[in-house]
Chains A and B, each alone.
Chain A
Amino acid sequence: MLPVKFDARANKTNSGGVFQPRMSEFEDAKSDVDDDTLIAEYAAGSQAAAREIIRRLAPSVLALARRMLGDEAEAEDVVQEAMMKLWKIAPDWQAGRAKPSTWLYRVTSNLCTDRLRKRKFASSEEAPEVEDDTPGVVETLELRDRANAVNTALSGLPERQRLALHLRYYQHLANKEIATVLETSVEAVESLLGRGKRDLAKQLIKERDKLGLG
Chain B
Amino acid sequence: MADRDTDDDLIDKMLDEHFGMEHSREAPISAGLMTRLIDDAAQASVRSAHTAHTARAPGLLDRLRSVFDGVGAWQGASVLTASALFGVMMGYASADGIAELPGFSLLNETLALDIEAEIGTFDSVGFDFDLPEG
Contacts and interface: CB of A to CB of B under 8 A. Distances in A.
A143 to B, nearest CB: 8
B65 interface: no
B85 to A, nearest CB: 44
Interface stretch (B24-32, B93-101, B102-110): B24-32
Given A150-B15, A208-B8, A213-B10, A19 B34 contact: yes
A88 B48 CA distance: 8
Contact of B5 (A76, A84, A150, A197): A197
Interface in A10-38: 11-13, 17-19
Q: Is the interface of A mostly helix, strand, loop or mixed?
A: helix
A91 B33 contact: no
B56 to A, nearest CB: 13
Contacts of A62: 26-27, 29, 33
Contacts of A11: 31, 34
B64 interface: no
Interface residues on B, range: 35 or more
A200 B10 CA distance: 13
Contacts of B23: 132, 134, 137, 169-170
Interface centre among B12, B22, B33, B49 (most CB of A within 10 A): B33
Interface residues of A, number: 55
B75 interface: no
B33 A76 contact: yes
Contacts, number: 144
A200 B30 contact: no
B9 to A, nearest CB: 10
Interface stretch (A40-48, A110-118, A175-183): A40-48
Interface string B8-46: 101110110111011111111111111111111110110
7 contacts: A17-B31, A47-B41, A59-B29, A80-B37, A80-B40, A84-B44, A171-B25
Given A12-B34, A80-B36, A91-B52, 20 more contacts: A6-B38, A8-B35, A8-B39, A11-B31, A17-B31, A18-B28, A19-B28, A19-B30, A50-B45, A51-B41, A54-B37, A59-B27, A90-B48, A91-B48, A137-B21, A137-B23, A146-B18, A197-B15, A198-B5, A201-B5
User: Which 6 residue pairs across A and B have the least CB separation, nearest first?
Assistant: A59-B26, A87-B44, A50-B41, A201-B6, A63-B27, A19-B34
